[in-house]
Amino acid sequence: MENTASCSLSIEKRYDHLKSFSNNIGGLVLELKDLIKVHEILIYKEKLKTSEKDRIKKQQDDLLVLKQELEIIKKENVKMDEQLKYYKRIDGSINSQINNVSENIQKVKLNINMEQKKKMEMTKNINEIKNKYSKTLKQKQLVSEKSSHLVKNTIGKTELSKEVNKEKCKDISKETRYKNTNQIFNAPKAEDNNIKKNNEAAQMSKETRI
């Protein structure tokens, strides 16, 4: 009986010991689980930190790239502004040249119109001079024809008078011949004087008409 009681006591002690050990193991398991969770949390935090660093670094790299692109764009804008100024200067120069050319064209047109007017006036004056000259020439021709006609008539009359006087002189005396001869020689002089007077009158009439 005593052995049986002692065995049961030892079994109970072992059971209690196993139970306490089991409880301790359960507590350790729970602690291990908690430690694992804490470790996972720490790992996650570290990952977050790493990813945040990577993200920040990536953002910094992107920002640097953007800054470089912005500098390139600024340089391109400066070049474009310079080109725009250059083209504006060229455009201004072209417009100025166009204005100068148009002004020169207007001046040339005015000069051409003035030259045409002068030419027309000169042509008119020349035609007037031609008409006056033609009239004067016709008047001269008429006067010349009249003068030549008068001269021919006068010469014919003079020659006829000379022949008649010669015939008469054959039958008259020397004194009468001398007188008749004087008359014969004086008659052409009178005719010549008449011709001169007629020519002078025609010349004065011509000058008056001119």
Judged by phi (left if over 0) then psi (alpha if -120 to 50, else beta), residue 172 lies in beta
User: pTM above 0.75?
Assistant: no
1 three-class SS: coil
Residue 85: its pLDDT value, please? 86
Cα-Cα-Cα-Cα dihedral sign, residues 140, 146, 148, 150: negative
Residue 29: its pLDDT value, please? 72
Residue with token string 């006087």? 165
The range of the structural domain enclosing residue 126 comes to 2-209
Looking at the structure of the chain, the number of domains it has is: 1
From first to last of the 210 residues of the chain, give the pLDDT tens digit: 445 545 555 666 666 666 666 667 766 777 778 788 888 888 887 777 777 777 778 888 888 888 888 888 888 888 888 888 888 888 888 888 888 888 899 999 999 999 888 888 888 888 888 888 777 777 777 777 776 766 666 665 565 565 655 665 555 555 555 555 555 555 455 555 666 666 666 565 555 544
The whole-angstrom distance between residue 152's C-alpha and the CA centroid of its chain comes to 76
Residue 1: its pLDDT value, please? 46
